[in-house]
Amino acid sequence: MTGALDGFSVRQIARGVAAGDFSATEVARASLDAIARRDGEVQAFQQTTEELALAAAGEVDAARAAGKTLPPLAGVPVAFKDNMNLVGTRTTCASRMLASYESAYTATCVQRMLDAGAVPVGKLNMDEFAFGSTTDSSAFHSTNNPWDLTRVPGGSSGGSAAAVASGEVAVALGSDTGGSIRQPAALCGVVGMKPTYGVVSRYGVVAFGSSLDQVGPLGRRVEDVAAALNALTAGGRDRHDAMSQDCAQDYLAHLDDSVEGRTVGVIPALLEAAGLAAEVRTAMRDAEERLAGQGVRVVEVDLPNMASSIAAYYVIASCEAFSNLARFDGVRYGYQEPGHATLARQTSRSRALGFGAEAKRRQMLGAYLLSSEAYDRYYLAAQKVRTLITADYRRAFAQVDAILLPTSPTPAWRHGEISDPAALYLADIYTISNNIVGNCGISVPVCLGSQSGLPIGAQLQGPAFADARLLTLARALERASDMEGRVAPAFAGRGGELA
C-alpha cells in the first residue's frame, strides 16, 4: 500500500502496519514530514516530539518483528491539545503562565492512546487555558484555518482541528467545555466528538470547568473518532478521576448499522434565529433530508430553556475557572515575576503578567460571581437554570434518539473580524447546553457553504451514555455527504507520503 498519508483512515494505517505494507517508523516520518512542510502556514503545533514519536514507532515495529499481536492503533500518528500532560513535553495551556512547565506525569487519556499503539508527534495550540473560540488568545501564536489561512480554526481546540484538517496527523485529542471540540471541528471540516461526561478520564488534563470539561477525539472520519474512543475507554474506569465511568465497548461494532426507524429531533425555531448564516440554515435542512432518506424519522422537539444556556454557562464556567486557576500563583509553579519585596506583591505581579486578557477576564468575573453579594443572584440562579435545561433534554430524549442542530452559527470568520468578547461567546450558542447537562455530542462536516465555500458542520446530540448510538447516526449523516476523509485542498499531498 503506497500513497499520501492524507488518504488513510486510522484503521487503514494500523492494518497496513500490522500487515507489513509499511512500518510504523515510515508512518511517523510521513507525519513529521507533513508537519514540517505544512505547519509553517497552519501553525497548529506548539511543539513536535520527534524523539518520542520515533521511539514509540520503533517499539511497534519491534513488536511486529517479534510476531506479537499489535494493538488497535499501532503506528497511528496522534497529537494532543496542550492542556494534556505527557512526560517529555511541556504542557503550557498556550499561556505565558506555564510557558516553561515540564509535564511531571502523563494524562490518562494520553496514556491510553499510547497503550493502543498510537505514535505521539506533538502538542497542539489552543486558546489560553481553553478560554476562547478562535485559538487567537494563545500567548504564543494564532493558528490558521487550513481551508483559508486568513480565517480562524475555531477554539479552544483549534490546533487539534487544524492539524487533522491539514493532514498533519490522522487523529488528535481536544477538550470540550462549551463546544471546544465540536465548534473547531465544524469550522475546519473534520469530525469532532464530545463524549458523555465521565466516559473519558480527565486526569492529567489541566482543568477549566470541572463540571463541564470532557476530553474527546477529532478525526477526518466518524470511523477515526470511534476508533480513538475505543482506545480512550479501553482501560475502563480511571480511579484517578472521581467522575470517570466504565464505558469500555467497541464503538466501531455498529457504526454502519442501518438507521431506519431511528428518530431525530429538530428545533425549527433555531433555524430562524438571528445570527444564523443562510448557508448554515440551508445545510441543516439538507442534513434533515439526508437522514430522512435513510429511513430516519425527523420530528420537532423543543428545548424551551436553551436560550438561557449561554448565560448560565458563562456564570458556572467562570466560577469554576476562577477556582481552578487560583493555584497558578508563581510560587508553587507557573510564571514568577522576580524582584518584589513581598510575597503578595510578587504573586500579584506574576499573575498579572502571566495570564492573558481573556484568562484574567474569566477569573475576575468568577471572583465577583462567587462573592457574597452576587452568589445567590447569579451562581445559584445559574445552577437552577442548569436543572431546567437538564429536564428539557430529558423530555426531548424520551421522544427521540438524537437531536440535530447547527454546530456553529456561521462558517469560519477572519482573524480579528470579531473583537467583542460577548459576540465571540455567542459562537458556542448551539454547543454549550450539551456541556451543561453532560450529554454526548458530535459535529460532522456535511458540505461546503454555498456562499463562503468553507466547511459547515451539523451537530448531533444524544442522551448520556448513548455515545455508540450517536456515532451510528453520525456515520449515516457522513455517508450522505461528500466530505468524508477530506483534507483541506491546499495541503492535500504536500508532504506526508508513504512509499
Q: Which residues are catalytic?
A: 81, 156, 180
Picking from 411, 17, 420, 401, the residue whose alpha carbon sits closest to that of residue 189 is: 411
> What is the DSSP track for 72-89?
TTTT-EEEEETTB--TTS
Cis bond before residue 156 (omega within 30° of 0): yes
Residue 274, judged by CB atoms within 10 A of its CB (0-12, 13-18, 19+), counts as: exposed
Q: Using an 8 Å Cβ cutoff, are 400 and 263 in contact?
A: yes
Terminal C-alpha separation, the chain:
8
Residue 360, judged by CB atoms within 10 A of its CB (0-12, 13-18, 19+), counts as: middle
Query: What does the alpha-carbon distance between residue 54 and residue 73 come to, in Å, rounded to a whole number?
Result: 15
The torsion angles phi and psi of 220, rounded to 5 degrees, stand at -85, -10
Grid cell, residue 312, equals 448560565
Query: What does the alpha-carbon distance between residue 293 and residue 289 come to, in Å, rounded to a whole number?
Result: 6
The torsion angles phi and psi of 489, rounded to 5 degrees, stand at -55, -35
Which DSSP helix (H) or strand (E) runs through 357? helix 357-369
User: What b-and-e string marks burial along 414-449, b requiring 16 or more CB atoms within 10 Å of the CB?
Assistant: ebeebeeeeebbebbbbbbbbbbbbbbbbbbbbbbb
